[in-house]
Amino acid sequence: MQQRRLGRTDLSVTRICLGTMTWGQQNTEAEGHAQMDLAFERGINFFDTAEMYSIPPKAETYGSTEKIVGSWMKARCTRDKIILASKVVGRTDNDWMRGHPSRLVRADIFDAIDKSLARLGTDYIDIYQIHWPERRIPWGSNPTRVGEWPAPRDADETPIEETLGVFDDLIKAGKIRHYGLSNESAWGTMRYVASSDMGRGPRPVSIQNAYNLVNRTFEVNLAEVCDREDIGLLAYSPLAQGYLTGKYDHGARPAGARTTLFDRGQRYEKPHAAEALLAYNDLARSFGMEPALFAQAFVLSRQFVTASIIGATSIPQLETALSAADVVWTEEMEKAVNDIHQRTGNPCP
């Protein structure tokens, strides 16, 4: 499995990263272990989780995924063989994580990291990410339109510089090696970089944002920011939450699928999204490929993507995702994809 250097670090991560957010609800511990076994056997050295997982988030399953990852590392003695990434939540009114609404302040971040380390059964996390910003901005941070502007600001919004100082302390304490951003904008990313350049803490090494055929907003501003500042894109949702597999085409809702179970697909059910999704899925079929394989291969074909974060609820799904690394992306595929994008834009930012 091909590897790439992550940002300006000495870490080399595989082009595919195994996502874990279904483990603890849609998947059992044994199923999670089986997925990690297969990925590790195929050469994957990069695993991503979060304190909030499994998804959808709720008090009963808070931290369940980290426990599953931790039990696998203990059973297989693999901690020193993988690059482990996790996340701390941004601002949330949910009080079951801390006993009070959480923010990106020192006490809450230290509470989060200590609990994550305990669940994972490790002394350190390689890449600790801010799951989403504390400031109130549209989810994903890169909308194609902003309905309310100026965006509302909370009087108690934690300055980025203050949060950065906490991550500096986490690194000095040996609890994390590096930190990254997620669901962040170009402005937010540059604010972290500028604060670091002024000596207020470490530079972010990665950004984990959605990137797929129906959401290429990363290309607009963030691609240049990350290229110039050596920040690696960890692209999540390459299958657009399953909508680029074809299983939801024409309004289908198969039993056991995530949107069928949880009704959380609103990001991919916006006006005109269905037409764009169907166009890409039909395009994949015209090339004789499963839509899921085609969509994964598209993300891996981008030179600015350090790693594509894949997710699966079954071994066959995982096999398909892993096989995307072997697809040769052609000029014909590129032209056909860009033709649809020119007509449909980014319907699911």
Query: What are the pLDDT digits (tens) for 110-123?
Result: 999 999 999 999 99
Active site residue 53: yes
Please tell me the predicted confidence (pLDDT) of residue 88. 98
115 or 1, greater pLDDT:
115
Average pLDDT over residues 225-240: 98
Percentage helix, strand, coil, to 5, in the chain? Answer: 45, 15, 40
DSSP-assigned beta bridge partners for residue 129: 87, 180
**Peptide bond preceding 291: is omega within 30 degrees of 0, i.e. cis?**
no
Regarding the domain with residue range 3-344, which homologous superfamily does it belong to in the CATH classification? NADP-dependent oxidoreductase domain (3.20.20.100)
Instruction: Label residue 266 by pLDDT band (50, 70, 90).
Output: very high
What secondary structure does DSSP assign to 232-297, as a single string? EEEEB-TTGGGGGGTTTGGG---TT-HHHHH---GGG-STTHHHHHHHHHHHHHHTT--HHHHHHH
User: Torsions phi, psi of 306, nearest 5?
Assistant: -75, -45
Express as a percent the part of the chain with pLDDT over 90. Answer: 95
Q: Which residues contact 272 (CB under 8 A, 6 or more apart)?
A: 344, 347
Mean pLDDT of all residues in the chain?
A: 97
Average pLDDT over residues 150-160: 91
Please tell me the predicted confidence (pLDDT) of residue 263. 87
Instruction: Label residue 150 by pLDDT band (50, 70, 90).
Output: confident
Which is the catalytic residue, given 53, 179, 211, 243? 53
pLDDT for 268-301, tens place per residue?
Answer: 999 999 999 999 999 999 999 999 999 999 999 9
| Residue 223 confidence (pLDDT) above 90 | yes
Rounded CA separation 171/207 (Å): 18
| Residue 96 confidence (pLDDT) above 80 | yes
| Residue 214 confidence (pLDDT) above 80 | yes
Please tell me the predicted confidence (pLDDT) of residue 149. 77
Rounded CA separation 192/221 (Å): 16
Rounded CA separation 136/316 (Å): 39
- Tell me 173's DSSP state: T
Residue 106 is encoded by which pair of tokens?
């020192």
> Do residues 117 and 167 lie in contact, with contact meaning Cβ atoms separated by under 8 Å?
no
